[in-house]
Amino acid sequence: MAEPLRVAVAAITNARDEYLIARRPAHVHQGGLWEFPGGKIEPGETLADALCRELREELDITPLRYHPLITLNHDYPDRRVCLEVVKVDRFEGQPRGMEGQPLRWVSADQLHALAFPAANRAIIQALTLPDRLVITPDLRCPETLLDGLRRSLETGGPALLQLRAPRLSREDFAALAEMVIPLCRSRGVRILLNADPELAVSLGADGVHLNARRLATLAGRPDVLDRLTLVGASVHHRDELAHAARLGAHFVLVSPVAPTRTHPGASVLGWPGFAALARQAGRPAYALGGMTVDDIATARHHGGQGIAGIRGLWQGATEAD
Ligand SMILES: Nc1nc2c([nH]c(=O)n2[C@H]2C[C@H](O)[C@@H](COP(=O)(O)OP(=O)(O)OP(=O)(O)O)O2)c(=O)[nH]1
Ligand SMILES: [Mg+2]
pLDDT tens by residue, 191-207: 999 999 999 999 999 99
Q: Report the separation in Å between the CA atom of 248 and the middle of ligand 1, taken as the mean of its atom positions.
A: 23
Whether 86 and 69 have beta carbons less than 8 Å apart is answered as yes
pLDDT of residue 315: 81
- Mutation probe of ligand 1 site: the residue of 3, 33, 35, 47 with most atoms within 8 A of C-beta: 35
Same domain (yes/no): 158, 274: yes
The mean pLDDT of 299-318, rounded to a whole number, is: 87
Nearest-atom index, ligand 1, CA of 30: 11
Same domain, 97 and 230: no
Q: Assess contact for 133 and 286: CB atoms under 8 A.
A: yes
- Does residue 149 share a domain with residue 285? yes
Name the closest-CA residue to atom 2, ligand 1: 38
For 20-77, give the DSSP string. EEEEPPTTSTTTTSEE-SEEE--TT--HHHHHHHHHHHHHS-EEEEEEEEEEEEEEET
Out of 52-56, 89-93, 307-311, least confident range: 307-311
CATH number for 283: 3.20.20.70
139 and 56 in a single domain? The answer is no
End of a domain among 66, 99, 128? Answer: 128
CA nearest neighbour of 304 among 282, 286, 281: 286
Q: What are φ and ψ of residue 11, in 5° steps?
A: -90, 100
The verdict on 137 and 253 lying in the same domain is yes
CB of 12 shorter than 6 A to ligand 1: no
Q: Where are the beta strands (DSSP E) in the chain?
A: 5-12, 18-23, 34-35, 38-40, 62-76, 79-92, 103-107, 132-135, 160-163, 190-193, 207-210, 230-235, 251-254, 285-288, 306-309
- Ligand 2 center to residue 182 CA distance, Å? 43
- Ligand 2 centroid–CA 82 distance in Å is 14
Residue 257 beta carbon below 6 angstroms from any ligand 1 atom = no
pLDDT at residue 40 tops 80:
yes
Q: Which residue has the higher pLDDT, 87 or 266?
A: 87
Domain boundary pick from 83, 113, 128? 128
Q: Is 117 in the pocket of ligand 1 (CB under 6 A)?
A: yes
Q: Which residue has the higher pLDDT, 150 or 315?
A: 150
| 19 pocket-lining for ligand 1 (C-beta < 6 Å) | no
Rounded to two decimals, the pTM is: 0.93
CB burial string 126-149: b at 16+ within 10 A, e below: bbebebbbbbbbbbeebebbbebb
Are 6 and 82 spatial neighbours (Cβ–Cβ below 8 Å)? yes
Return the ligand number nearest the Cα of 118. 1
Our mutation pick for probing the ligand 1 site, out of 21, 30, 124, 125, counting the most ligand atoms within 8 A of Cβ, is 30
> What is residue 318's predicted lDDT score, i.e. its pLDDT?
77
Give the range of the structural domain holding residue 45, as residue numbers without chain letter.
5-128
| Count of Cβ atoms closer than 10 Å to residue 159 Cβ | 16
Tell me if 66 sits within 8 A of 86, measured CB to CB.
yes
Q: Does pLDDT of 208 surpass 70?
A: yes
142: number of CA atoms within 13 Å, CB side? 13
Does 292 share its domain with 220? yes
Average pLDDT, the chain: 94
* Phi, psi (deg, nearest 5) at residue 3: -55, 145
For residue 58, the ligand 1 atom closest to its alpha carbon is 22
Same domain, 291 and 152: yes
Q: What are phi and psi of 103, to 5 degrees?
A: -120, 150
SS3 category, 251: strand
Does 238 lie in the same domain as 170?
A: yes
CATH number reported for the structural domain that contains residue 44 in this entry: 3.90.79.10
The model's pLDDT over 80-106, given as tens digits with 9 standing for 90+, comes to: 999 999 999 999 999 999 999 999 999
Rounded distance between C-alpha atoms, residue 55 and residue 312, angstroms = 39
User: How many residues would you count in the chain?
Assistant: 321
Q: Tell me if 28 CB under 6 Å of ligand 1.
A: yes
Q: How far is the CA of 215 from the centre of ligand 1 (A)?
A: 33
- For the CA of 10, the nearest ligand: 1
Give the Å distance between the CA of 22 and the centre of ligand 2: 9
Domain count, the chain: 2
Calculated CA dihedral for residues 13, 18, 19, 23, nearest 10 degrees: -140
Pair (258, 192) in one structural domain: yes
Could you tell me if residue 315 is inside a domain? no
- Does residue 253 carry a pLDDT above 80? yes
